[in-house]
Amino acid sequence: MAATLTTAASTQEKLLRARAASTRLALLGTEEKNALLLAIADAIDANEKSILAANQKDVDTSGLEGAMRDRLLLTSARIKDMASGVREVAALPDPIGECLAEWTKSNGLRIRKLRVPLGVVGIIYESRPNVTVDTAVLALKTGNAIVLRGGKEAAHSNQCLVEIMAAVRGVPEGAIELLDSATRQSVQELIKARGLVDVIIPRGGAGLITFVTENSAVPVIETGAGNCHIFVDETADFEMADRIVINAKTQRPSVCNSAEKLLVHERVAAEYVPRIVKKLMDAGVEVRGDGKARNLAGGLHIVPATEQDWHEEYLRLCMAVAVVANVEDAIAHINRYSTKHSDSILTHNEANARKFLRGVDSAAVYWNASTRFTDGAEFGFGAEMGISTQKLHCRGPFALAELTSSKYEIVGTGQVR
Amino acid sequence: MAATLTTAASTQEKLLRARAASTRLALLGTEEKNALLLAIADAIDANEKSILAANQKDVDTSGLEGAMRDRLLLTSARIKDMASGVREVAALPDPIGECLAEWTKSNGLRIRKLRVPLGVVGIIYESRPNVTVDTAVLALKTGNAIVLRGGKEAAHSNQCLVEIMAAVRGVPEGAIELLDSATRQSVQELIKARGLVDVIIPRGGAGLITFVTENSAVPVIETGAGNCHIFVDETADFEMADRIVINAKTQRPSVCNSAEKLLVHERVAAEYVPRIVKKLMDAGVEVRGDGKARNLAGGLHIVPATEQDWHEEYLRLCMAVAVVANVEDAIAHINRYSTKHSDSILTHNEANARKFLRGVDSAAVYWNASTRFTDGAEFGFGAEMGISTQKLHCRGPFALAELTSSKYEIVGTGQVR
C-alpha cells in the first residue's frame, strides 16, 4: 500500500493533484469506473484488520462515549457493509454521457446537452468514517475527483481507508485526496480554492454548515438541517396521526428527516393534544409547547417552548407542540421556522392538502405520510450524498445525478453569425 | 404611479417585502402572470416620455462618452424594443408547475418532482437600463420576486422603469425592488442576506463577478466572462477557418462569446499564421502572439503576448495567437487559460474533434462553427439572463428554466417507516 499517497503534501498540492486527476477521471468509461469500484470493495474486505486497527487508535484517543463513540466505531460487520455499499454503487446506472437534450437549428447546427462530471468535489464532514468510503465511490462513479476533509476523531480510520482506495490499481493519482484534520487550516484553504474545486458539500451540524456557506468562495451544496413539521388538520384521522407522529419523532430521532414540531388545528386541539402528548411521553419524548398546547395538556407536564424552540432541530427525543388556527396559519408557521427540509399535513380535506403542498416552501412536502421518507434509498435513487435544503442545483435527496453538470456540444459545417 | 414604492425604504425592508411577495408570486397562475407582463409592456410604451426624461438625466450627469454613453442611452426605438421584449417573454411557455418526474413506490407513496420558483432573485448589474426590464419580467414569468441593484450611472432610468413596472395593477408589493445604487452598502447587504434571497446573479465585468462570488453568503450564478478559443487543427479547411475566426473575433467584439485566442497546429502554422494575421489586421484587429507565431508572421507586426494575455478577456478588437503541437496541447492550453465559456475546434479529423469536444472543460464546445452561437436566443431558449460559466445549477445559456427550483410532493395513506 502506498502510504505516502495522502500524506506529506500541502493542501494546495493535494488540490492540484485532484484537479489534474479530474481531467483523467472524466475520460474513464462506465466499465472502467465500475471495475475500479469493485476492486475498491475487494480491497476494503481484504484490509479489514488494518482498518480495525486504525479505527481502534481513533476510538482510544478520542475519549468519546455512548452514541458518539458508536458513530466512530467500526466493526467487522460495518466494514463488510461498507464494502457491499461500494458494490451497490457499482451496480447503479452511470449518469455520465447521458444526452439530456438534442436538437438541430435551422442553420444546420446540431446541439446536444450532455451530462458531464462536476470536476473536483470537496466534502467537509464529521465523525462517521463510512462517509469517507461512501462519498469517495459516489464521486468516482460520476468521474469526479474528491477531496475529503474529515473530523480529527476519525483521522486514523480515514487515512487508512483513503490509502486502501487510492492504492487500487487504476485509480488515478489525486482522485481521492484526504486533507489534514488536525487544524482548521485545511478547511480554510479548501473553501477558498475557487478554480481548483467545483463544489463543496458540508455534512455535519448546523455550525459547520453555516460556517462553510458564509465563508466559502467555492459554490456550496447545503445539506442536512431538518426542522421538520407535522400539521394535524381538523379532519385528520387520529389513529393515522398517532402512528405518523410517533414514527416521525421516535423511529430514528438523530436524523434530519425526523419530525421536530407538531402543529395541531385549534378545533381538534382539545381532544388531540392531550392524546398525542401522552403517547409521546410514553415513548420517552420530552414535550414542549406553546401556551394553548400547555393549557390543553391537563395534568401532563409540557415544558414552555421559547422562540428558540421553534427554530431548533432537536435531533433527539424532544418535540414542541403548537396550536394553530387553520391550514394558512400552519403554512405561515412552517415557512417562518422550518429549515425547508420535509413537512407533512395529515388531513382528509383535499383542498387543505393542496394548499399545504403548494404553499409550504420545503424540499419535500407530504400529505398523510411520515417525513422520514425523505431519503435517497426510500425515493429509489440508491446511495445519496445527503439531503439538500437549498434551491440551486439540487433540492431534496442528493444522489449520483446531482454529482454531475452538463455541457453543450455543437457540431457545425462552418456556420458563422 | 406610486413613486414611493421603491424609495424611502432600507435595503432590509426591501428584502423583507421581496420575501413576502415571493410567496404570493409562487401562487400565481400562468394566465395571471402573462397578463401582468402584457400590462407591463403597455405601461412601458405609455410612459415613453417619462423614461426618456429620466434617462436624459442619467446621460447628462454621467459624463460618459462613446460606447459607454451608448450603452446607457435610451431612445424611442429602444424603449419600443424593451416593450416588445416583454411581450415575447409573455408568449414563452411557463416552466412553473411542470412535472419533472413521477413514480409510485411499492408501499403506495406517490412521489412527484415539480418545478417551482426559486423565490427571491438578486441581480447586481452595470449600466445598461434594459437589463432592469429584461430581468424583472423573466423573474415575474417564473414566479420569482426580484431585487435589482443597478449601476449608479443609470439610477434615474432604473428608478423610473421599476416604478412603472411595480405600479401595474396586480403586481404584488415587493415583487420588483430596486436597491440604492449611490454606495456599495446595498451590495454588501444583498450578498449577505442568506435566508431572504435565494440566488444572486452578478452581471458585469470580471471585477464585479469576482467580488460577488468571493464575498456572497447567498448562492451565486456566475455569468459572463468569456476567454474563448479557436483551435485550427492540421486538417482544418482554411477558407472555413478564415470565415469563422474573423466572425468570432470581429462581428461583435464586446460580448462574452467572441473569440479572444487563436491556437494553430504547428504543421500548418507556417502557412496559416501569416494568412490569418493579415486578414485580422485588415479587419482592424491588434494581433499578439507567442514566439513561434511571431517568427512565422513575416513582416507583419505581432505584439509579444505575455502570460497575462493568455488569461485576458479582451472584449475588443485584439486577438492573441499561439502555435501548439497537437490537439492534446490545444486542449491543455484551453483548460489552463479559458474561462470555461465557449471553445471551438476547426478540423476534418473526427477523432481529434471528439477528443476536443470531450476533453475541453467548457460550457459550450464547438466543432467547425463560430463561438458566437453560445446565446439563449441562438439556442432557441428565448430571452436569457446570461451565460453561466459555473458547473452548478446551470451551465451555458441561462434562461427561464434555470430561474426555477424543484420540490418533491409525496402523497400517502398513512405510510410510516
Q: Which of A27, A373, A416 sits opposite B109 (nearest CB)?
A: A373
Contact between A368 and B111 using a beta-carbon 8 Å cutoff: no
Contact: B369, A415; criterion CB under 8 Å: yes
Nearest CA in chain B to A390: B198
Res B7: pLDDT: 55
Q: Which residues of A touch B353 (CB under 8 A)?
A: 411
What is d(CA A341, CA A373) in angstroms, rounded to the nearest whole number?
11
Q: Could you identify the residue written with the cell 468519546?
A: A64
B82 contacts B157 by C-beta, under 8 angstroms: no
Question: Are A97 and A209 part of one and the same domain?
Answer: yes
Among A359, A373, A409, beta carbon nearest to B357: A409
**pLDDT interval class at B167 (50, 70, 90):** very high
Asked if residue B93 and residue B133 are part of one domain, the reply reads: yes
- What is the number of domains present in chain A? 2
Q: Say yes or no for a CB contact (<8 Å) between A251 and B417.
A: yes
> Which ipTM did the prediction report?
0.92
pLDDT band at B127 (very low <50, low <70, confident <90, very high): confident
Rounded to a whole number, what is the distance in Å from the CA of B247 to chain A's nearest CA? 6
The dihedral sign for the CA sequence A83, A84, A87, A92: negative
CB-CB: which of B244, B370, B412 is closest to A369?
A: B412
Among B214, B407, B410, beta carbon nearest to A217: B214
pLDDT at position A12: 96
Q: Locate the chain B residue with the closest alpha carbon to A362.
A: B407
How many CA atoms lie less than 13 Å away from B161 in the CB half-sphere? 26
Find the residue in B nearest to A191 (Cα): B214
**Smallest Cβ distance to A219: which of B357, B373, B390?**
B390
Chain A positions touching B412 (Cβ under 8 A) are: 366-369
Residue of B27, B214, B217 with shortest CB distance to A214? B217
Question: Which residue in chain A is spatially nearest to B358 when comparing CA positions?
Answer: A27
A353: CATH: 3.40.309.10
Q: Which residues contact B346 (CB under 8 A, 6 or more apart)?
A: B230, B231, B232, B233, B236, B237, B240, B241, B244, B368
List own/partner pairs for B205-210 with CB under 8 A and 24 or more apart: B205/B126, B206/B313, B208/B124, B208/B126
- Closest by Cβ to A407, choosing from B213, B335, B362: B362
Cβ atoms B95, B400 nearer than 8 A: yes
- Residue bearing cell 412527484: B112
Domain membership of residue A388 (yes or no) is: no
Contact A408, A101 (CB under 8 A): no
> In this model, does residue A77 exceed pLDDT 60?
yes
Residues of A in contact with B368 (CB under 8 A): 411-415
Whether A385 is covered by a domain: the verdict is: no
Residue A49 CB burial class (10 angstroms; 0-12, 13-18, ≥19):
exposed
Q: Which DSSP symbol is given to A94?
A: P
Do A89 and A188 share a domain, yes or no? yes
Angle of the B76-91 helix axis to the B130-141 helix axis, nearest 10: 10
CATH code for the domain in which residue B192 is found? 3.40.605.10
B103 forms beta bridges with B111
Specify the pTM: 0.90
| Closest residue on chain A to B362 (Cα) | A407
How many CB atoms lie under 10 A from the CB of residue B283?
Answer: 13
The answer to whether residues A210 and A140 belong to one domain is yes
Pair B278, B206 in one domain: no
pLDDT single digits (tens) A292-337? 999 998 889 999 999 999 999 999 999 999 999 999 999 999 999 9
Q: Is the pLDDT of residue A82 over 60?
A: yes
Q: How many other CB atoms sit within 10 Å of the CB of residue B201?
A: 24
Residue bearing the bigger pLDDT, B206 or A388: A388
Q: Are B219 and B232 in the same domain?
A: no
A198 with A241, same domain: the answer is no
Name every chain A residue with its beta carbon within 8 A of the beta carbon of B416: 243-244, 247-248, 251, 369-370, 372
Q: Is the pLDDT of residue B6 over 50?
A: no
SS (H, E, C) chain B: CCHHHHCCCCHHHHHHHHHHHHHHHCCCCHHHHHHHHHHHHHHHHHCHHHHHHHHHHHHHHHCCCHHHHHHHCCCHHHHHHHHHHHHHHHHCCCCCCCEEEEEECCCCCEEEEEEEECCEEEEEECCCCHHHHHHHHHHHHCCCEEEEECCHHHHHHHHHHHHHHHCCCCCCCCCEEECCCCCCHHHHHHHCCECCECEEEEECCHHHHHHHHHHCCCCECCECCCCEEEEECCCCCHHHHHHHHHHHHHCCCCCCCCEEEEEEEHHHHHHHHHHHHHHHHHCCCEEEECHHHHHHCCCCCCEECCHHHHHCCCCCCEEEEEEECCHHHHHHHHHHHCCCCEEEEECCCHHHHHHHHHHCCCCEEEEEECHHHCCHHHHCCCCCCEEECCCCCCCEEECHHHHEEEEEEEEEEEECC
| E strand or H helix that includes residue A274 | helix A266-282
Instruction: From chain B, pick out residues whose CB is under 8 angstroms from the CB of A405.
Output: 391-392, 395
Q: Is 60 exceeded by the pLDDT of residue A195?
A: yes
Residues B212 and B245 in one domain: no
The alpha carbon of residue B167 is apart from the nearest alpha carbon of chain A, in Å, by 26
> For residues B348 and B234, what is the distance between their CA atoms, to the nearest angstrom?
9
CA of A10, closest CA in chain B: separation in Å? 21
Contact B391 A119 (CB under 8 A): yes
Let me know if residue B417 belongs to a domain.
Answer: no
Helix (H) or strand (E) holding A102: strand A99-104
Nearest CB partner across the interface for A417, out of B251, B365, B391: B251
Q: Is residue B385 part of a domain?
A: no
At residue A68 the predicted structure's pLDDT band, cuts being 50, 70 and 90, is confident
- Minimal-distance CA residue of chain A relative to B390: A198
**Is A373 among the domain residues?**
yes
A64: which 3 cell numbers?
468519546
Q: Could you tell me if A216 and A233 lie in one domain? A: no
Nearest in space to B40 (alpha carbons), one of B140, B159, B122, B111: B140
Is A139 in contact with A146 (CB distance < 8 Å)?
A: yes
CA distance A86 to chain B (A): 24
Q: How confident is the model at residue B385 (pLDDT cuts 50, 70, 90)?
A: confident
Average pLDDT over residues A70-91: 94
Inter-chain contact B391–A109, Cβ cutoff 8 Å? no
- Enumerate the residues of chain A whose CB falls inside 8 A of the CB of residue B214: 194, 217
To the nearest whole angstrom, how far is the Cα of B207 from the nearest Cα of chain A?
15
Question: Closest by alpha carbon to A89, among A39, A52, A123, A158?
Answer: A39
Shortest distance between the Cα of B27 and any Cα of chain A, in A, equals 8
Selection from A102, A122, A123 nearest residue A111 by Cα: A102
Of B251, B363, B370, the CB nearest to A407: B363
In a domain, B22, yes or no: yes
Confidence of residue A271 (pLDDT cuts 50, 70, 90): very high
- Do A218 and A247 reside in the same domain of the chain? no
Residues of B in contact with A392 (CB under 8 A): 118, 198-199, 219, 221, 392-393, 405
Is B364 close to A243, i.e. CB distance below 8 A?
no
* Inter-chain residue contact A391 with B118, CB threshold 8 Å: yes
Please state, in angstroms and rounded to a whole number, the distance separating the CA atoms of residues A237 and B210: 54
Contact B408 A26 (CB under 8 A): no
* pLDDT the model gives residue A1: 40
Is the confidence at residue A179, as pLDDT, over 70?
A: yes
For residue A7, what pLDDT is reported? 56
Domain limits at A299? Answer: 228-377
User: Are residues B240 and A392, on separate chains, in Cβ contact within 8 Å?
Assistant: no
Q: How many inter-chain contacts (A to B, CB under 8 Å) are there?
A: 194
Chain B CB contacts of A372 under 8 Å are 416-417
* Residues on chain B touching A243 (C-beta within 8 angstroms): 414, 416
Residue in chain A nearest B237 by alpha carbon:
A414
- Predicted confidence (pLDDT) per residue in B230-247, tens digit: 999 999 999 999 999 999
Q: With beta carbons less than 8 A apart as the criterion, state whether B269 and B261 touch.
A: no
Which chain A residue has its CA at the smallest distance from B403's CA? A392
In a domain, A105, yes or no: yes
Is residue A78 pLDDT above 90, yes or no? Answer: yes
Do residue B280 and residue B328 come from a single domain?
Answer: yes
Which positions in chain B touch A361 (Cβ < 8 Å)? 23, 26, 119, 407
Same domain, A198 and A312: no
Residue A200 pLDDT more than 70? yes
Q: Tell me if B373 and A414 make a contact (CB, 8 A cut-off).
A: no
Kindly determine whether residue A369 and residue B221, on different chains, have CB atoms separated by under 8 Å: no
pLDDT at A240 over 60: yes
The shortest CB-CB distance from B372 to any of A353, A365, A417 is to A417
* Residue A386 forms part of a structural domain: no
Using the beta-carbon criterion (under 8 Å), do A369 and B335 form an inter-chain contact? no
Residues of B in contact with A335 (CB under 8 A): 23
User: Nearest CA to CA, how far is A282 from chain B (Å)?
Assistant: 19
Least confident range of A214-228, A239-253, B2-16, B140-154: B2-16
